[in-house]
Structure 1
Amino acid sequence: MSSQTPVAEAIPDIPIPEPRRGLRGHPWLTLFSVAIGVMMVALDGTIVAIANPAIQQDLGATLADVQWITNGYLLALAVALITAGKLGDRFGHRQTFLIGVVGFALASGAIGLSSEVSLVIVFRVLQGLFGALLMPAALGLLRATFPAEKLNMAIGIWGMVIGASTAGGPIVGGLLVEHVNWQSVFFINVPVGVVALLLGLVILKDHRAKNAPRSFDIPGIVLLSGAMFCLIWALIKAGEWGWGDGKTWGFLIGSIVLFVLFGILETKVREPLIPLRMFRSVPLTAGTVLMVLMAFAFMGGLFFVTFYLQNVHGMSPVDSGLHLLPLTGMMIVGSPLAGAMITKFGPRVPLVGGMVLTAVAMYGMSTLDTGTGTGAMSLWFALLGLGLAPVMVGATEVIVGNAPMELSGVAGGLQQAAMQVGGSLGTAVLGAVMASRVDHKLPGNWDGAHLPPVPQAQLDKAADAVAVGISPVPKGTPAPIAEKITAVAHDTFISGMGLAFTVACGVAVVAAAVAIFTKRGVNAEAGAGVGHI
């Protein structure tokens, strides 16, 4: 099939969306409507990190409580994404999207009204569950509404919204916490949710494929949810427990066992949650792996950038967010351009090129040190945004575009789940790389600076602080010694961060190789099945 042949023309079962009159079902208005809802979910992935210290102080929360405020949301989102996509395929993506918007906004308002940290955690979990309903439904609506030749552009803008919202979270959160209060971080979702609901009611049109699923694979949902929970939980807790700890390996092994049982089950049920024949499509499988690797390098690397800017360079949360604007800006500019390039040339070349640029940016970021100026930082951040843009767009189109229409929700959930797994894996693995490097380097750097010797237990505690760029200077330490400790801490952190970015660079190179196996979605459907793609 020619690269210029629209996907819908090759499949007689899929009606080509006709030009719309009026608001309902209008493609670009549909994109605008779902983008508002998606913005809420993406923003909340990073905005709350800025509010956590204020929540901890106001509600008297423990460190474990604060961790659950973040982890509860991420766990619920990751565990429920694929099941939520299936719900959209079964009951319609419009209905699923609107329920997700309403639930997310109500949960956000409830968090702002909460006076106990336990309630904040409960409603954060609900936020994650409703966000999981919303995200795959948004992709399903775009897939069904846009003609094939314009789908890449639509996904490009959709990716731009996610990238800008994710990177803009620290800026928005910092401004709200500094000038209003921590509750405003959540209350802001209520009017946004109302706007998204009203637009959705007026604009969104329900689309259902002829072969939409009519039943639910309940055992499959239970097994997949359990497997995802064990995997994400192990990755979240690995830094605290240690990679050699029995609890970490227990959850990882449990995850593998549940995934295997899920795979066996899916070959036997009539309407599986994820038809495994989807993965006979080499492009779809490559797109999923690519999304995991991209998120590994991007989110794992970005995790250290915030510590570098705030703890090494001493920036405020707002200032650090502003320093990331080159990254955000290039994603905003690059995503629609990437969509246009992918439409014209197909996804393979932009995806390979994007991951090569990402690898170069990661290598450049491995050279950052305590004296690096704003100009050099901005160069590497901008290059990273330029590299990520085509991957966010292209990998999404490859996954969703190579899945059958009746499984577009599942494909959207798979895309988002791949991002969550990759991000969690990147943060955990690169965090372990950082911790190992700090443990190895700190004693030698401490002795080399001729600092007073300290007990091993105290040095181990200092290493935990150094791993996030904090200088472990005890109160009352004379200024000359404090300066030496700070220099040692920052140099050691920089060494660990450089190694972590080098690993991320290697992962990006592997991802570039995987991208070679991607191609434009052809949606081989009824009769032939996905296996013949």
Structure 2
Amino acid sequence: MNNTLKQNLGLLAMSLIMFIVTLDTTITNIALPTITTFFKTNLDLSNWISTIYVLILSVLMIPASKIADQLGRKKLMLLGLSFFGVGSLFCGLSNQIWVLIGMRGIQGIGGAIVTPIMVPLCVSLFGRIKANQVVGEIGAIAALAAAVGPGAGGLIIHYWSWHLIFFINIPITIIVFGLIIFCFSESYDPTVSSKIDYEGILLLSVSLFLLTFVLLKGYDFGWRSPTIIFLIIGMVVTMIVFVITDIKKVEPLIAFDLFKDSTFLSSTIVYFTAGFTIVCSSVVFNFFLEDVLNFSTLHAGYIIMFSSVMVMIVMPLGNSLGQQFNFRWPILTGSLLMAVSLLLLTQISYQDSEFYMIFDMCVLGMGFGLASLSLVSAVQYIPEEKAGIASGMVNAARQFGTCLGIALLVGVLNMNIKGATSNIKREAQNIIRTSQLAPDVKKVANNTIQQRFDSSTAIDNKNIKNKELIGVTKKIVGVPKPAKSSDMYEVYRNNKKIISGAVELRKGAKGFYEQIKTGIDSNQLMTDAERIHQNSQKLILNQKKISIEIQFLAQKQVLTQAFSEIKKSKNKQLTRAFKKTFWLGTLLLFVVSPIAYWTDKRQLTEKK
């Protein structure tokens, strides 16, 4: 096999595995409701399907990269692929929720092993100079996978089954396994010994596990709960012990000296924010589309998909510009565009056109794609033998960014929604109270609203229209007259005139009948007068029924209008909750964006 073919196939292998490993961090989020229903469980439990994967990725990346440097990167890559493939197979075959969660953990172990090893393997296959370009292309694949997850998940669930989300990994893993064997040679970090620092790995893993767990589950348990406080204390203690012991070692587990390189430090921070930003689209904005706008999973995925399209377009272009000139400006532009995209999302409305929402996603995709070039810039000045541990640290930073995004944004969103729920409930009850409805209808409507808010964060028309409410609206007692401002008022008033006329007709017919009876001996006239009297009585009764039906119809219109106002209130309040959440992300990104200026030091070096 000639060298060019090896390189092309090696690039294909790295791209494929990076795609499926990254894809699995976001694609399962959109499948959680379906999986929850399938296993007949609750979302709190099924949420661990996503949590355990991100948790293990965050914890094991740095130790895995260090062990690979010592024992051999190719061997560890094959081991990681085996874990990932086996985990994927049994995820798809799982018939119990706990089995699925456990197999997702196995998947996470595989993903944590293979992700940081890709960079040093590329360096060994392509050489230092060309490897930067290759890593950029692989980074584009990773960014694409992160962005395309919700759309791909929606498509698969809509047309096939959630099982396929995991089964598609298996043939890809087998192909990549073979390509790794034939395309790559074994490589190590020759500057370190083969002795594994078990103590350091244990301390680092425990501290990172506690940190990630707190970020992911802090809002679920409560930030002031004894459990979270205990975990935070444990995390701080283990991290301090690790740092103190690690910096004293001749061969530390984490190369803290790497942070002295301004390019590596700033690029790591930017890649951290990229992980944070993807939560805004794949989780928060997707939640808005599905739960506020009531879009289907496929429809929401279609809109978010445009961010993926822009990643595909801009990241190769940005990487080419970065290789030829400087990574600073593409990455800085991307960081600012991410901030601008969140600024645009602070202006969302439930009445926005799809074009506006797609435009937002395009801006976010452009920013995310360019900012993700920080994966390339981070390692471009790092010594070749340190590329493995550097890659592990950078990729771990992105996972921590995602964890922080979930903890901060989702947590704040939940808090904002609780506040919005209280406002919606209060406004809904006020709307019912001031509406022209029968007392029994008001009572049942208020009880229904109370029940719905005890179990959910928002209501819509379907939530309120229950059987009890429909039944009580059919009671005749207490049905109000149509309001004068109502369209039904004139109909009701004219019907009353008809009733009055029929009453007068009945009186006249009765008088005429009495006159005929006492004055003229005419059987035919008496019969006609009696018929007129009887028919006028029937007319009165019928018109009274019509009057009641008009009142019912008017009440139905009032109730429908009340439902509509409640729904508008719900949409307005929930949208405001999302806006506040996006404002938080916007401020954070605008504060961090200037750091992207230091992601490449070539111009600074040239000036000196």
Output the TM-score relative to the length of structure 1: 0.86
Q: Give the gaps of 5 or more residues in structure 1.
A: 1-18, 523-533
Give 1:290 shift. Answer: 2.0
Corresponding residue for 2:586?
505
Whether contact under 8 Å (2:207, 2:239) holds in the other structure is yes
Deviations 1:133-178 (A, max 9, x none): 1111112212333344433432222122112222222333233333
2:276 matched to 1:276?
no
Change (3 A) 1:148 1:370: same
Correspondence list, 1:405-424, <5 A: 405-424=384-403
Aligned mates of 1:499, 1:186 — CA distance in 2: 35
Whether contact under 8 Å (2:155, 2:301) holds in the other structure is no
In the alignment, residue 488 of structure 1 is paired with which amino acid?
A: S
Corresponding residue for 2:211?
231
Paired residue secondary structure (2:47): helix
Aligned mates of 1:471, 1:143 — CA distance in 2: 59
Aligned mates of 1:236, 1:475 — CA distance in 2: 37
Higher helix share: 2
Deviations 1:52-104 (A, max 9, x none): 33333333333333022111111111111111111221122222222222221
Aligned mates of 1:106, 1:440 — CA distance in 2: 44
Q: Per chain length, whose mean CA-contact separation is higher, i.e. which structure has more relative contact order (CA < 8 Å, sep 6+)?
A: 1
Paired residue secondary structure (1:324): helix
Corresponding residue for 2:530?
none
Q: Give the gaps of 5 or more residues in structure 2.
A: 434-445, 470-558, 604-608
Change (3 A) 1:325 1:116: closer
Give 1:291 shift. Answer: 1.9
Paired residue secondary structure (1:23): helix
Give 1:34 shift. Answer: 0.9
Change (3 A) 1:62 1:291: same
Larger Rg belongs to: 2
Aligned mates of 1:356, 1:496 — CA distance in 2: 24
Whether contact under 8 Å (2:281, 2:304) holds in the other structure is no
Corresponding residue for 2:48?
68
2:202 matched to 1:202?
no
* 1:93 pairs with one of 67, 73, 84: 73
Matched positions, count: 498
In the alignment, residue 67 of structure 1 is paired with which amino acid?
A: N
Aligned mates of 1:135, 1:500 — CA distance in 2: 31
In the alignment, residue 199 of structure 1 is paired with which amino acid?
A: L
Aligned mates of 2:453, 2:357 — CA distance in 1: 30
Correspondence list, 1:377-526, <5 A: 377-393=357-373, 395-448=374-427, 450-452=430-432, 465-466=457-458, 473-474=463-464, 476=466, 479-519=560-600
Corresponding residue for 2:5?
23
Whether contact under 8 Å (2:57, 2:112) holds in the other structure is yes
Aligned mates of 1:503, 1:50 — CA distance in 2: 23
Whether contact under 8 Å (1:434, 1:500) holds in the other structure is yes
Whether contact under 8 Å (1:401, 1:521) holds in the other structure is no
Deviations 1:273-305 (A, max 9, x none): 102222222222222222222322332454211
In the alignment, residue 83 of structure 2 is paired with which amino acid?
A: G
Whether contact under 8 Å (1:327, 1:381) holds in the other structure is yes
Whether contact under 8 Å (1:86, 1:407) holds in the other structure is no
Aligned mates of 2:386, 2:193 — CA distance in 1: 8
Corresponding residue for 1:49?
29
In the alignment, residue 5 of structure 2 is paired with which amino acid?
A: L
In the alignment, residue 3 of structure 2 is paired with which amino acid?
A: R
Whether contact under 8 Å (2:282, 2:304) holds in the other structure is no
2:326 matched to 1:346?
yes
Identity of aligned residues (%): 25
* 2:133 pairs with one of 143, 153, 173: 153
Deviates more, 1:336-345 or 1:299-308: 299-308
Aligned mates of 1:458, 1:418 — CA distance in 2: 44
Aligned mates of 2:58, 2:118 — CA distance in 1: 16
Aligned mates of 2:462, 2:238 — CA distance in 1: 42
Output the TM-score relative to the length of structure 2: 0.76
Correspondence list, 1:215-294, <5 A: 215-294=195-274
Corresponding residue for 2:115?
135
Whether contact under 8 Å (1:400, 1:408) holds in the other structure is yes
Give 1:37 shift. Answer: 1.1
Whether contact under 8 Å (2:460, 2:566) holds in the other structure is no
